[in-house]
């Protein structure tokens, strides 16, 4: 079955960097785009970014442009979210999600990893 | 950006009764090229990640009970739970996948009355 496992979260000071990983299994990884969606404590869902199936295209929300970048290693079924210049408002649980019938649909989700940006 | 507005913020329904959640998009999410509505519904139970319930506004994801149904036009959509069960207590979100940035409604919390 489809499995997505995030890792790399933790507590980091404002302005510092963190790299999240998403390990995938149970599907043909190179065929699907992978999204990151975040959820601040007690709040709703916010889409963060998408990397296309081949890694050649990335899309992200305005609030992270220039600070967050995505990459993927299709030989290892991994996606990475590099987060630089972190801000307090980036504090959230970060989920990776596999696209579905549409590339912008979140068909399967990981359990999430918590990022806390605090001094 | 397409703004998604859900109502109500919360509702309490008796077991076995119907729950109705509304979602409005600030612009149409109906794609003229394929006549498909780019609208999905997710369920999030406490401490869990969201789960896809409905896509293309009315197509149930595999394994989702048929008491969950979706409907709607280009801008106004509804998620209906016919015969609420205890395990349906959750927050429900609508999402447009018509274009980026992908956006969600604020969520509707469903509880048992």
Mean per-residue pLDDT over chain A, rounded? 97
Say if the Cβ atoms of B103 and A59 lie within 8 Å: no
To the nearest whole angstrom, how far is the Cα of B74 from the nearest Cα of chain A?
17
- Own/partner contacts of A59-62, CB < 8 Å, gap of 24 or more, are A59/B100, A59/B101, A61/B101, A62/B101
Candidates B99, B101, B106; nearest CB to A44: B106
- Are the CB atoms for B71 and B80 separated by under 8 Å? yes
**Contact present, B96 and B103 (Cβ < 8 Å):** yes
Alpha-carbon distance A117 to B3, whole Å? 27
What does the pLDDT read at residue A106? 97
Please give the Cα distance from B31 to A104 (Å, whole number): 14
Convert the pLDDT of each residue in B41-55 to its tens digit.
999 999 999 999 999
Determine the pLDDT at residue A42: 96
Residue A101: the pLDDT is 84
| Measured distance CA(A75)–CA(B32) in Å, rounded | 37
State the smallest CA–CA distance between residue B84 and chain A in angstroms: 23
What is the secondary structure of B37-94 as a DSSP string?
A: E-EEEEEE-TTS--EEEEETTTEEPTT--TTEEEEE-SSEEEEEEES--GGG-EEEEE
- A36 touching chain B per CB within 8 A: no
3-class DSSP assignment, residue B24: strand
pLDDT tens sequence across B5-47 = 999 999 999 999 999 999 999 999 999 999 999 999 999 999 9
In whole angstroms, what is the distance from residue B81 CA to residue B83 CA? Answer: 6
* The pLDDT value given to residue A67: 98
Q: Minimal CA–CA distance to A77: which of A28, A36, A111, A18?
A: A28
Answer whether B46 touches A (CB < 8 Å). no
Output the pLDDT for position B76.
Answer: 98
> Residues A59-100: pLDDT tens digits?
999 999 999 999 999 999 999 999 999 999 999 999 999 998
CA distance, residue B77 to nearest chain A CA (Å): 17
Is residue A27 within 8 angstroms of chain B, CB to CB?
A: no
How confident is the model over A114-118, as a mean pLDDT?
A: 98
pLDDT band, residue B77 (cuts 50/70/90): very high
* Residue B74 binned pLDDT confidence (cut-offs 50, 70, 90): confident
A23 touches chain B (CB under 8 A): no
Which member of A35, A45, A95 has the closest CB to residue B104? A45
Distances (CA, A) of A96 to A22, B21, B50, B98, B108: 6, 26, 11, 20, 22
Partner-chain contact B52 A107, CB within 8 Å: yes
């Amino acid at each position: 079955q489809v499995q997505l496992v995030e890792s790399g979260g933790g507590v980091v000071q404002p302005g510092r960097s963190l790299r999240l990983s998403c390990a995938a299994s149970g599907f043909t990884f190179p065929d699907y785009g992978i999204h990151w969606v975040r959820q601040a404590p007690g709040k709703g869902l916010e889409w963060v970014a998408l990397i296309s199936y081949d890694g050649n295209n990335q899309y992200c929300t305005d609030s992270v442009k220039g600070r967050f970048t995505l990459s993927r290693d299709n030989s290892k079924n991994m996606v990475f979210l590099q987060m630089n210049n972190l801000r307090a408002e980036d504090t959230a649980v970060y989920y990776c999600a596999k696209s579905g019938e549409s590339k912008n649909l979140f068909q399967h989700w990981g359990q999430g990893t918590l990022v806390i940006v605090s001094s | 950006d397409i703004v998604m507005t859900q109502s109500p913020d919360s509702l309490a329904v008796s077991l076995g009764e119907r729950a109705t959640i509304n979602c409005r998009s600030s612009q149409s999410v109906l794609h003229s090229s394929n006549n498909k509505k780019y609208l999905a519904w997710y369920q999030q139970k406490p401490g869990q990640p969201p789960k896809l319930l409905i896509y293309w506004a009315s197509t149930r994801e595999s394994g989702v009970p048929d008491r969950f149904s979706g409907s709607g036009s280009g801008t106004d959509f509804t998620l209906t739970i016919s015969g609420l069960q205890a395990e349906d207590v959750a927050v429900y979100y609508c999402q447009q996948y018509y274009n980026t940035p992908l956006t969600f409604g604020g969520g509707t919390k469903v509880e048992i009355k």
